[in-house]
Amino acid sequence: MLIGAAAGLVVGLGFAERHRTFAILTALGASASQLGAFLRSEAALVAIAGLIFGAATGLAVAWMLVALLSGVFDPPPEAVTIPYGYLAIVVIGVAVVAATVVVSFQHAHARVDPAALKAE
């Protein structure tokens, strides 16, 4: 749940900041499919970067904890155990679905009338 909420929040807030960019793209003649491609590519970039950095951080913390707590356990663990199946389900099931929901919502609301924007 936390992964999905974080991915959706980062992508959603990023899109909300670029409301003016969508209006400019619309004024320049971008079609709905081009705006959708822009949204999907940005969501994919954020999701992939987050998954890579999150996995690296998680592995580093797990390795440190196993090394730090090896004296507490009898016998100490030989290596870090990674539940690949569970991680695959979580990554595919939560992060991708959250990013897809945010992109589809933003794509529906991305068409902005350039005349409606106030001069900022």
Q: pLDDT tens across 28-76, in order? A: 888 878 887 887 887 778 778 877 888 889 889 988 988 888 888 888 7
Given a cut of 70, whether residue 120 has pLDDT beyond it is: no
Torsion over CA of 109, 38, 41 and 19, rounded to 10 degrees? -50
Exposed, middle or buried: residue 95 (CB in 10 Å: 0-12, 13-18, 19+)?
A: buried
Average pLDDT of the segment spanning 3-16: 74
Q: Where are the alpha helices (DSSP H) in the chain?
A: 2-17, 19-27, 32-68, 84-90, 97-108
pTM of this structure: 0.65
pLDDT in tens, 75-115: 877 777 888 898 888 777 777 777 777 777 766 665 555 55
